[in-house]
Amino acid sequence: MTRYLLVAGAQRCGTTYLHHLLDEHPEIAMARPARPEPKFFLDPNLFSKGLDWYEATYFSNAETVPVHGEKSTSYIESADAAERAASMLPDADVLVMLRDPVARAISNWRFSTDSGFEQRPLDLALKESIGRPRDWDPATTSVSPFAYLERGRYADYLEPWLQRFRQVHMYCLEELAGNAHAVAHMYEAMGVDTAFRPPSLGTVVNAATPLGGEIETSLQLCLRLYFADSDARLQEVLGRPLPWASE
């Protein structure tokens, strides 16, 4: 019987790195093509095609591989995606990658700037995001390219997934990257060989173009305050201190 996993997000938190760690394991087949991301459970028209179509479209050459997985980093922001996924794959393992939300915001700004969406300098983009997120065109991207701060309030997005799935695994990039023991523990949770060492273990994957990243101290403190309540709730969910809590 096929086991399923979903990498649900969060964006600019190392999900592409996680995808490599999973895809390189011989007992795991990740959806093809990987880009553009399937976003199957975001689209009601795709979802209506059902599990057989999902399998035939994304896993046509993986019949003998025991674990089938998909990465669509917009999932975490959609309660509808959680509901659809749970109705079709109720026993799936959901993987969520987290990261220091300030570092994530900077990476998001770099990526949006590099992609041509953003023209504001970093400090201004982040300061303006504290007051109100910038409007965006849903016809160009599935989620806002300007959600620098709200996207880092991870606790605001987790509840629909925690309510619907028994196995929601949350990993922090700061703890997983390059850590063979942590990766082996993740493989164990997926029910695959823990002795496998993925070639991408110590590599940097999908890094944003370095366009600057230093922000003034006063803004840093303001952002820490902005994320404080969300980080506190996230820490309760995880049951342990966050790796960036002392930053």
CA 20 – CA 35 distance, rounded (Å): 13
Query: Is the pLDDT reported for residue 23 higher than 70?
Result: yes
Largest CA-CA distance found in the chain, in angstroms, rounded: 55
**Predicted confidence band of residue 206 (pLDDT cuts 50, 70, 90):** low
Residue 212 confidence (pLDDT): 61
- For the stretch 44-68, pLDDT in tens is 999 999 999 999 999 999 989 999 9
| CATH assignment of 3-238, among 3.90.180.10, 3.40.50.880, 3.40.50.300, 1.10.10.60 | 3.40.50.300
Query: Is the pLDDT reported for residue 131 higher than 90?
Result: no
- For the stretch 134-157, pLDDT in tens is 888 888 887 889 999 999 999 999
Handedness of CA 44, 50, 55, 57 (dihedral sign): negative
Average per-residue pLDDT for the chain: 93
Query: Is the pLDDT reported for residue 246 higher than 70?
Result: no
Residue 64 confidence (pLDDT): 94
Show me where the domains of the chain are located.
Answer: 3-238
CA 241 – CA 246 distance, rounded (Å): 9
**Predicted confidence band of residue 80 (pLDDT cuts 50, 70, 90):** very high
